[in-house]
Amino acid sequence: MGNAHAIYNPSNQPVEWMNINVGTSKVYDAFDLGDARVGVAKDPIPQFVTMKLDHADLKPVLQANGGAGIVLRRRVLGPAVFYTPWAYVDHLIVQRGASTGTSRMADISARARASRPAPRHWN
């Protein structure tokens, strides 16, 4: 089970990313194929799940889930992408002084607060 995936960085800046594995069991079922994809041609039509995280696509949300201030948000992947109970991936920017409230969906609880965000450069 699973999909091949890669990260394409069109800039000369480093990319910061996090790998999250959600499986149908409690066994970590991912493995490293050992292919860094360096120097290979980019597929004209991606052969795997793809998303674009673009600051221009984000919409302001006031007091998201009961939080404070304005959070910039966009849903980038919906339930049709996943084989598991994982339902979505959202792109959020929590501005300094803002926060998201508590959200409880399908027994998953998350709380995020802005503290000292690292500066990010968006193209």
26 part of a folded domain: no
pLDDT at position 73 is 93
pLDDT in tens, 9-66: 888 888 877 776 667 777 776 777 788 788 888 888 877 777 888 899 999 999 988 8
pLDDT in tens, 62-86: 998 889 999 999 999 888 887 777 7
40 part of a folded domain: no
Nearest CA among 101, 73, 98 for reference residue 88: 73
92 part of a folded domain: yes
68 part of a folded domain: yes
What is the model's pTM? 0.61
| C-beta of residue 79 within 8 angstroms of C-beta of residue 87 | yes
- Residue 91 structural domain: 55-110
Q: Specify the number of domains making up the chain.
A: 1
Letter string b/e over residues 66-96, b meaning 16 or more CB atoms within 10 A of that residue's CB: ebbbbbbbbebbeeeeeeeeeeeeebebbee
43 part of a folded domain: no
75 part of a folded domain: yes
Tell me the three state secondary structure of residue 56.
helix
118 part of a folded domain: no
99 part of a folded domain: yes
